[in-house]
Chains A and B, each alone.
Chain A
Amino acid sequence: MNIIESTISFANEILTLTNFKAIYWQKENTIILSDLHLGKAAHFRKNGIAIPTQVSATDLQNLETIIEKYHPCRIIIVGDLIHAGSNSEVENFRIFTQQHNTINFILVKGNHDKHSDHFFKNIGLHEIYPEYRLGNILFVHEPQSKGNTFIICGHIHPGIVLPTPTNKHLKLPCFAVSEQQLILPAFSRFTGSDSKNTPANTCCYAVHQQGIFKIPASGQT
């Protein structure tokens, strides 16, 4: 899979959306992503549900590909880094952060991230916040509106349903972009996407292996 980019302007900044479900912010040399849900597959296995391990390995490989391409100095994860308990997949992430010790890993905590800050420090995160500001953008986990503040968040795993000519429907994860807010798709492959709770008047950038497709907001003039 090749990285395909689509550049947009948000909060007076130029952001690069990628079909790897992460954003590259060139000016700050930063990668932004959300909802990694590390250890989800292992958590399932622990409870007797047979999900192959390769799923989480693919997630980390994708992150590796992005790092190789952009060489960021900072990675911001806007929440839901860890799905449930600690397990071998979380351990793999610790090894991963060690291999990339020149990058500053920043976590904005999400509803799944119930562990202590100490725990997150141990697996290689350098900074942990409930919310985090960089330039004129505020990074939080859950979508919200805060006056004129520009927000980048995740949490709802936005998706969009596209009708195809055969009267079948195709659901793809997407970036949901409105004037004040940008919602990231879930980075992990082992997650679903929700096409019903995407806020109204958002422009969606549907993500697919073969590209990024812009679907303008309905009713937009």
Chain B
Amino acid sequence: MSDKFIQTDGYKIIIDWFHKQNIQPFNFQTKTWEKYYQAFSGMVVAPTGFGKTFSVFIAVLIDFLNHPDRFKDGLKLLWVTPLRSLAKDLAKAMQTAIDDIGLDWTVEVRNGDTDIKIKQRQNKQMPDILLVTPESLHLLLAQKDTTKTFNALHCIAVDEWHELMGSKRGVMVELAVAFLTSTVNNVKIWGITATIGNLEEAGNVLLASCQKRTQVKASEKKKIEILSVLPDEVELLPWAGHLGSKLVEKVVPVILQSRSSIIFTNTRSQSEAWYQMLLDVYPDFAGQIALHHSSINSDIRTWIEDALSSGKLKAVVATSSLDLGVDFKPVDTVVQIGSSKGVARFMQRAGRSGHSPFETSIIHFVPTHSLELIEVAALKEAVKTQTIENKDPLFLTFDVLVQFLVTIALGAGFLEQQMLAVIRSTFAFKEISDEEWQWCIAFITNGGIIGKNYEEFHKVEKQADGLYKVTKRRIAMLHRMNMGVIVSDAMIRVKFIAGGFIGMVEEYFVSRLKAGEKFILAGRVLEFVRIKEMTAYVKAAKGKAITPSWLGGRLPLSSNLSYFLRQKLAQSVNPAKTDKELLFLQPLIRTQQSVSHIPQEDEFLVENIRTKEGYHLFMYPFEGRLIHEVMAALVAYRISKQYPVSFSMAMNDYGFELFSDSPIDLTLSQLEDILSDDQLIQDVIASINATEMAKRKFRDIAVIAGLVIQNMHGKQKSNKSLQSSSGIIFQVLEDHDAGNLLLRQAYSEVFNQHLEEQRLTAAFKRINNSKIIYKFATAFTPLSFPIKVDSLRQSLSSEDLAARILKLQQSTQTKAKRKK
């Protein structure tokens, strides 16, 4: 640190305050203070639990203590955080520090939970520090007198930037930051992030509009210890999902020996199942363990979180709903059930235990099938080398842009050229072309570029002085109600007939239930009675019941983890003494090796297996389920080009299967052709139904861009005449407005996110550079078996639609005849 900075009054006051509490600030904290003093914007990189908050927050205080004259009345520090639940505790910690130091600043929270009266008071008199979510920030920008609200602003801090970047909420933050830096002079932007793979880029994205910027990285590291829960013996034919229940008994002592634990599962149905199994195996847990996932009523969730912080609960079975949020001090153990699918998520979950800076986080890994033990070995390697995933920023998300433009038109209004400059100063839209910009302006003013066709349309109007404004009250109201970029499935409340609210379930699930059918929610067996006005009425029941299968439960495997998986599988032939999991798996590895092969890092394994059922072709790219879905369709398509054949497909995170009732006769050289990266993307497009996929992607886009009015709870009636589905609008636009940028965005989201074009190309390149090992067998191998039993099945058929329906008709008719 420079002497000049140490000599400042502000620094002296703060360091005194630290010393009075017997705390020594971390190096990254003092460095942030100094950089802020030197008028930098920047990005702070530090693991959770090391006082990230006190880096940027204190920096602003020091600045104020040094130059109180430079500060006006009003909002000085705007703190953006992705989670509402974090805001309250953060505000409390800040306020305590401020009071202690002896300043008269006030800290307040503003988000969806904030009382309307407090919001109105804030509108008149802003606090000195305000904590907001990206959504509430945009709502602030939609207010008439935004310039007044922000004219005293000195700094915008964006907390947990790693959570926001790569999502549309991140783009919302980029836009808001760019807008505020253009309207308020000399605002500094500071991001706070945990370690991710592309830190440099993370800074460039958030700080795109800042001239003077820096990065402050903490040298402190969180220690993580990974322990695997091993079954008694190795199953030679591992069966997905089968092993978990056997291991419950081994998880019980882990829970008993800890003060408090969180058991992480990947899906809500898995969490429901584990909650039941734990109670079955150890009934004394009743009342001591709880279930936490996003379908559970938020009051109950808050109660569970409080009980966990105060140490009243022994364990909580959770989904990613507890990945983030406030620290639970009593939690000293984390249990992960099944693959975590990514290094970052795994480390984040591990970090939920042992929260204070120099404590070690302990995480127990429970495999759901034996092969997942390889993943433990892979995770250990990834954590050791700190190989953490990238968060790829989004580009040209026009849905977010048009929403933002309407938001600003609702607030202060904007001038076209000025706004274009602001938009181009963001990372997400720096490449926006003049034509695309014209399209966006046309979209919000007369409905579309073929303007004459959209008479009667008025959303945003260009006034005589060139200012774009929303003038209609109804439009303003609809827009405010539908702001934001989180699009959820329509959720249905679940209530007892006798009264009492249990939780929320996707409409999709409830719509398939028949009266009298039983299902499990929040750990209870419920009998479905009827559905009325977005509420499903149920009564308590006993006995067998189905667990809701929620959509979107399947997370993709990250490419970092798949790299380590391949590496560890290759090493498993000659494992190091320290690789406990690989040693344990030896019987399985040896079987695989004797009946087939264990692929080395420069090899690619293909198994051609013939059983009584039929003919199977297995391939093992280890790229995750999503990519395998695309690869399987592609390989099936390329084989069917050689000779007519139809396949059904199955896949898991490790590989995929093509199954046919006729022989799959392929020579090694034919196989090499099929796996070639020649004409890759053309063949992918030919093998999948891109329109159908784009239609699904368009769902969110339509809501964000305001083409579909979301179902609001309790309010669904008032907008009934404006209800329509994104599917219908997609079709209408495809037929009549093919140049629509939102349609184009749907297709590019399919290519970038669903098909992961880059990763797919890289995978095929790798396969092409590998030696292809082609093995024949007459029974399932240890590697192939889990794929075989996995349920996700689909098949490829080149018949056209009318023929398909005809076929279906015939089969229905033959069935009907048989019944006669």
Contact = CB atoms under 8 A, between A and B. Distances in A.
A192 B455 contact: no
A146 interface: no
Contact of B812 (A47, A49, A191, A215): A215
B692 A55 contact: no
A80 B732 CA distance: 20
* A interface majority secondary structure: loop
A45 B802 contact: no
Contacts of A87: 456
A208 B800 CA distance: 13
A47 B474 contact: yes
Interface residues of A, number: 42
B456 A45 contact: yes
Contacts of A51: 447, 707, 729, 732
B454 interface: yes
Interface stretch (A5-13, A66-74, A93-101, A161-169): A161-169
B795 A165 contact: yes
A189 to B, nearest CB: 7
Nearest to A220: B816
Given A49-B722, A50-B447, A167 B732 contact: no
A210 B732 contact: no
A177 B57 CA distance: 69
B799 interface: yes
Interface in A27-80: 42-55, 58
Given A54-B736, A211-B802, A220-B816, A48 B478 contact: yes
Question: Which of A52, A83, A190, A196 has most chain B Cβ within 10 Å?
Answer: A52
A49 B733 contact: no
B549 interface: no
A168 B801 CA distance: 12
Contact of A46 (B448, B456, B795): B456
A115 to B, nearest CB: 14
Contact of A48 (B475, B511, B725, B736): B475
A52 B801 contact: no
* B interface majority secondary structure: helix
A184 to B, nearest CB: 18
A221 B805 contact: no
A42 B812 CA distance: 42
A181 to B, nearest CB: 21
B92 to A, nearest CB: 41
Contact of A52 (B448, B472, B796): B448
Contacts of B479: 48
A215 B447 CA distance: 40
Contact of B475 (A47, A50, A216): A47
B806 interface: yes
Contacts of A191: 728
B802 A210 contact: yes
B210 to A, nearest CB: 35
Given A50-B447, A196-B511, A164 B804 contact: yes
Contact of A47 (B454, B722, B805, B807): B722
A166 B797 contact: yes
B38 interface: no
B443 A213 contact: no
B793 interface: yes
A121 interface: no
Interface string B707-739: 101000000000001101101110111011100
A152 interface: no
B806 A53 contact: no
B534 to A, nearest CB: 15
Nearest to B799: A165
Given A50-B443, A213-B809, 7 more contacts: A48-B479, A50-B707, A52-B450, A88-B456, A164-B804, A168-B794, A213-B806
6 contacts: A43-B722, A55-B736, A84-B721, A165-B795, A166-B795, A216-B812
Closest A-B pairs by Cβ, 7 of them: A48-B459, A50-B447, A52-B736, A167-B794, A45-B457, A54-B736, A210-B802
